[in-house]
Chains A and B, each alone.
Chain A
């Protein structure tokens, strides 16, 4: 591998990490409250609002069922509005974030729903308010599940970020397509795939380890 190739791969890896980190961060900021709300606004629940819950559910499902590549193209005007352009790494962050919010929301909803209903009842019994139940009971108890969910979301974002390369985003996907595919450099394609595999492995094992550390339900040796 030439030093030039290594420089290109390092730069693209940096771009990918930046895109994934920023979009995962912003999507968590929106996805966490949305997920908590989805998990607590059903009929007879803490913030019961069955209609709002249903409408939000439909919106979330619609966003999730739109193929990512179509979503990227469909929201170009919105992307321009936010990022000032529709091409490049910064612009790619917008569709990545939009796609990740409902995904993260559903994962967090699932983690929160795993929390034993008895704990909510106990917290109500000692006088906790709904907000206190969310912050002091639901989120801490669901934390291992939330961490696993976010890990899954980051892994998916790494995959999605490679896809935005096809529509002018930066990063590893872009590098693989331009050099590996269009310029017939199979070694570049291979290098990109290897870097992606390593990234995913790293993220997954860090996430697994963190979740295991946070999970106090299982006795640690």
Chain B
């Protein structure tokens, strides 16, 4: 090997911060000149920090600004204002050559894989190493290691056109890891894959995070991706981060409509149509209130409806529900109909047991 891997440690870089969060965006805005003279704001005063070794997911609808955000982290785009600090150096302030060196410690994978069709799997993985000036023998050795890591040792001489989507993304991951980066950026890496393949790619990323201690910053529009691999989440909407924190907390106690809308896509949260169509804003005498009960952590498996019936003599009419897992912790949602006269007592009973409640509406 004749190229320095830890180039960021070189004295040519100013250390700006102690490295506890490996990626930090401080007051970052990005404004594009609009086509008709009016500037378009893609990102507005974004503050985000990705702790070393964590998996942080940024979730947002298309056009929310998440692609712009991730491209700022490796300097593919430069912010209009603010600082983008990666491993202690301000990416936004680096001159082009230094930025190229810095990028070797920031891997990136893409929705459409972006592999060279003219190179075999092995040669695609070798490309970043060639670019970094490694010698032939070192490249051969490293490529073999990486192919082994992503489970494609037998596909070394295959061209991308001969590989499946999942295999292409594995090659993409191996290529991103070639120069031993400290951060991996994932730009909708599973959006073009079927659910099963998505699962296996997410498992691979989780394994890489655990075994190599690699920090992962990913953007996605899919709740399932965040749920299965992220530890922390930031919800982005119209260029702003509207909510951020521990995945479990954010998704079991969503504060923002957008966050709720991501959850609404999930099974068990949506109301069945026959209820949704009859939903009223105000109570009707003799009717029922529709209540969403959120179960978190240890309470997720409590027989709360049985207790409700026994202790309060209230019968809950189950309308929708699911028990699931977010970031490895159980959580559940139950949508029930409760007689209006028993509503107050029921809500008090549930809240006393640490459950989240929300009155969605009323039915006759």
A residues touching B (Cβ–Cβ < 8 Å)?
A: 116, 118-119, 121-129, 132, 136-137, 140-141, 143, 214, 216-219
Residue of B106, B118, B132 touching A214 (CB-CB under 8 A): B118
Alpha-carbon distance between A10 and B180 when the two chains are bound, in angstroms? 62
Please state if A129 and B117 are interface contacts (CB–CB under 8 Å): no
Cβ of B100 within 8 Å of any chain A Cβ, yes or no, is yes
- Cross-chain pairs A/B with CB under 8 angstroms, 27 sampled: A116-B112, A116-B114, A118-B112, A119-B116, A121-B114, A122-B175, A123-B127, A123-B131, A124-B76, A125-B74, A125-B76, A125-B108, A126-B107, A126-B131, A126-B175, A126-B178, A127-B102, A127-B104, A127-B128, A128-B128, A129-B100, A136-B127, A140-B116, A214-B118, A216-B118, A216-B159, A216-B160
Alpha-carbon distance between A214 and B114 when the two chains are bound, in angstroms? 19
Alpha-carbon distance between A219 and B164 when the two chains are bound, in angstroms? 12
Cβ of B203 within 8 Å of any chain A Cβ, yes or no, is no
Please state if A127 and B114 are interface contacts (CB–CB under 8 Å): no
Taking CB atoms, residues of chain B closer than 8 Å to A127 are 100-104, 128, 131-132, 179
Taking CB atoms, residues of chain A closer than 8 Å to B160 are 216
- The closest CB in chain B to the CB of A129 belongs to B100
Cβ of B130 within 8 Å of any chain A Cβ, yes or no, is yes
Cβ of B119 within 8 Å of any chain A Cβ, yes or no, is yes
B92 to chain A, nearest CB (A): 16
Residue of A116, A125, A132, A137 touching B103 (CB-CB under 8 A): A125
Please state if B103 and A217 are interface contacts (CB–CB under 8 Å): no
Are A122 and B110 also in contact (CB < 8 A) when A136-B130, A214-B118, A219-B162 are?
yes
Residue of B116, B131, B161 touching A218 (CB-CB under 8 A): B161
A134 to chain B, nearest CB (A): 12
Taking CB atoms, residues of chain A closer than 8 Å to B108 are 122, 125-126
B residues touching A (Cβ–Cβ < 8 Å)?
A: 74, 76, 100-104, 106-108, 110, 112, 114-119, 127-128, 130-132, 159-162, 175-176, 178-179, 185
Taking CB atoms, residues of chain B closer than 8 Å to A218 are 161
Chain A contact residues: helix, strand, loop or mixed: helix
Instruction: For the A-B complex with A129-B131, A216-B160 known, give 15 more contacts whose Cβ atoms are closer than 8 Å.
Output: A116-B114, A125-B103, A125-B106, A125-B108, A126-B175, A127-B102, A127-B103, A127-B131, A127-B179, A136-B130, A137-B116, A140-B116, A141-B117, A218-B161, A219-B161
Alpha-carbon distance between A219 and B106 when the two chains are bound, in angstroms? 32
- The closest CB in chain A to the CB of B104 belongs to A127
Residue of B112, B131, B162 touching A128 (CB-CB under 8 A): B131
Residue of A128, A136, A216 touching B117 (CB-CB under 8 A): A216
Which of A128, A129, A141 has the most chain B CB within a 10 Å cutoff?
Answer: A128
- The closest CB in chain A to the CB of B130 belongs to A136
Closest 6 CB pairs of A and B: A122-B114, A126-B128, A127-B103, A118-B114, A125-B108, A216-B159
- The closest CB in chain B to the CB of A142 belongs to B118
Are A128 and B114 also in contact (CB < 8 A) when A136-B130, A217-B161, A219-B161 are?
no
Alpha-carbon distance between A127 and B100 when the two chains are bound, in angstroms? 4
Please state if B110 and A124 are interface contacts (CB–CB under 8 Å): no
Taking CB atoms, residues of chain B closer than 8 Å to A122 are 108, 110, 114-115, 175
B184 to chain A, nearest CB (A): 11
B78 to chain A, nearest CB (A): 13
Taking CB atoms, residues of chain B closer than 8 Å to A214 are 118
Taking CB atoms, residues of chain B closer than 8 Å to A123 are 127, 131
Are A124 and B103 also in contact (CB < 8 A) when A118-B112, A119-B116 are?
yes
Alpha-carbon distance between A19 and B101 when the two chains are bound, in angstroms? 47
Taking CB atoms, residues of chain A closer than 8 Å to B102 are 127
Alpha-carbon distance between A128 and B176 when the two chains are bound, in angstroms? 13
Alpha-carbon distance between A61 and B121 when the two chains are bound, in angstroms? 40
- The closest CB in chain A to the CB of B172 belongs to A122
Taking CB atoms, residues of chain B closer than 8 Å to A116 are 112, 114
Taking CB atoms, residues of chain A closer than 8 Å to B175 are 122, 126
Taking CB atoms, residues of chain A closer than 8 Å to B132 are 127
Please state if B161 and A216 are interface contacts (CB–CB under 8 Å): yes
B98 to chain A, nearest CB (A): 11
- The closest CB in chain B to the CB of A133 belongs to B131
Taking CB atoms, residues of chain B closer than 8 Å to A125 are 74, 76, 103, 106-108, 185
Please state if A141 and B176 are interface contacts (CB–CB under 8 Å): no
Alpha-carbon distance between A118 and B110 when the two chains are bound, in angstroms? 9
Taking CB atoms, residues of chain A closer than 8 Å to B76 are 121, 124-125
Taking CB atoms, residues of chain B closer than 8 Å to A143 are 118
A63 to chain B, nearest CB (A): 31
- The closest CB in chain A to the CB of B117 belongs to A217
Alpha-carbon distance between A129 and B95 when the two chains are bound, in angstroms? 13
Are A140 and B114 also in contact (CB < 8 A) when A122-B108, A126-B128, A219-B161 are?
no
